[in-house]
Amino acid sequence: MKKRKLGHSDLYVTELGLGCMSLGTDERKAQSIIEAALEEGINYFDTADLYDFGVNEEIVGKALKNVREHVIIATKAGNRWNQDRSGWTWDPSKAYIKEAVKQSLKRLGTDYIDLYQLHGGTIDDPIDETIEAFEDLVSEGFIRYYGISSIRSNVIREYVTKSHIISVMMQYSILDRRPEEVALPLLAEHGVSVVTRGSLAKGLLSDRVLDKATGKGYLDYSYEELLDVLPRLKESVGAGRSFTEVALQYNLANPAVASVVAGASSVEQIRSNAAAVRSRALTDEEVALIKELTKASVYGEHR
C-alpha cells in the first residue's frame, strides 16, 4: 500500500489507516481485524485514551507489540473521564496532558507514541500552555510528534502559527466538504498534513448507499436531497466501481490529505477498504463533477 509523508516529519503513513474506535472490547475479534490490516500493508493505527475507558489502547498495544517498530501508533488526549465514568470533561492543561501520556504509554505497552494528538480544542483553551506540554513531551522522548483533531479553522490557525504540529485529523467527505473552505488550503500552504475521518459519511457513501439514509438526512442535506444526490453520484462517478472507492479516493485526491482513517468492525470491512484505497485514483474531471453535484460547504466552518 502506498505511503505519504506526514507533514514535516519523517513518518510515512499508509494511505489507509485503521481507526480503532470501532474495534470493540472483544480482544480476539479486534486482534483478527488488526492482523488483517497488517496483512493489507496498513501501518497507521489511530486510537484514543477516551475509547472504552482506555481498553482500546490496551488492545491495540497488545496486538501491535510484535511489530511495534514497523507501525505508527497515534493516540489522543484532552478528554477526562469523570470519577464515575458517566461522562467526561475537557482538560487541555499542561498538567493533565503530561499525566495522560504516561497512562497511554502504560496501556499501549510502549516507550513512545509516534503521534500524540489533542482530542479537540477551542479558541478559549490555554493554547500556549497546551503547546508547551506537547513540546515538553517531544523533548523528553515520550512522543515523536504531535498534532490536533479539529475542524475549527480558528483553532487550527493558532496551532499552525504557534506550534510544530505535523497533522490535523478532521471529518471530511464528499458530503461534508467544510474543510475545503479554509482548513485544507491553509494546511497545504504550511506543509501540515490532514488525516481524515468520517470519509464514508456514516455509511451513506458505501455500497449500501441509501440503506443508511434516514428521514433526518445528513448534516445540511435533507433526506430528499440525499435521495437525489447519492444516485446521481453513483451513476455519474461510481459506475463500474464501488462507491467506497469513490469516497475514499475523493479524500486522497486532495493534496493536503496524507491518510484516510477508516474504522472496521470486521475483517471483510478492512479488506474492502484496503481494496478501495488501492483502486484507480479519481481523474481531475471526476473530482470536479463530484464538487458540481455536492454542496461546497455544509454549515460553514467553525471560525
Question: Helices 94-108 and 55-64 meet at what angle, rounded to 10?
Answer: 50
Specify the pLDDT at position 215. 67
User: CB neighbours (10 Å) of residue 149?
Assistant: 21
Q: What is the pLDDT of residue 301?
A: 45
**Residue 211 confidence class, pLDDT cut points 50, 70, 90:** low
In angstroms, the CA 126 to CA 122 distance is 9
Q: What is the pLDDT of residue 302?
A: 42
Question: How would you class 13 by CB atoms within 10 Å of its CB: exposed for 0-12, middle for 13-18, buried for 19 or more?
Answer: buried
The pLDDT of residue 160: 97
Mean pLDDT of 87-99: 92
The predicted pLDDT at position 300 comes to: 46
Confidence of residue 298 (pLDDT cuts 50, 70, 90): low
pLDDT, residue 210, reads 58
51 a catalytic residue: yes
> What pLDDT digit, counting tens, does each position of 133-176 carry?
999 999 999 999 999 999 899 999 999 999 999 999 999 999 99
Q: What is the pLDDT of residue 82?
A: 79
Q: Are 254 and 185 in contact (CB under 8 A)?
A: no
From the candidates 12, 44, 51, 299, which is the catalytic residue?
51
Q: Is the pLDDT of residue 67 over 80?
A: yes
pLDDT at residue 27 is higher than 50: yes
pLDDT at 303 over 70: no
* Residues in the chain, overall count: 303
Are 200 and 247 a contacting pair, CB within 8 Å? yes
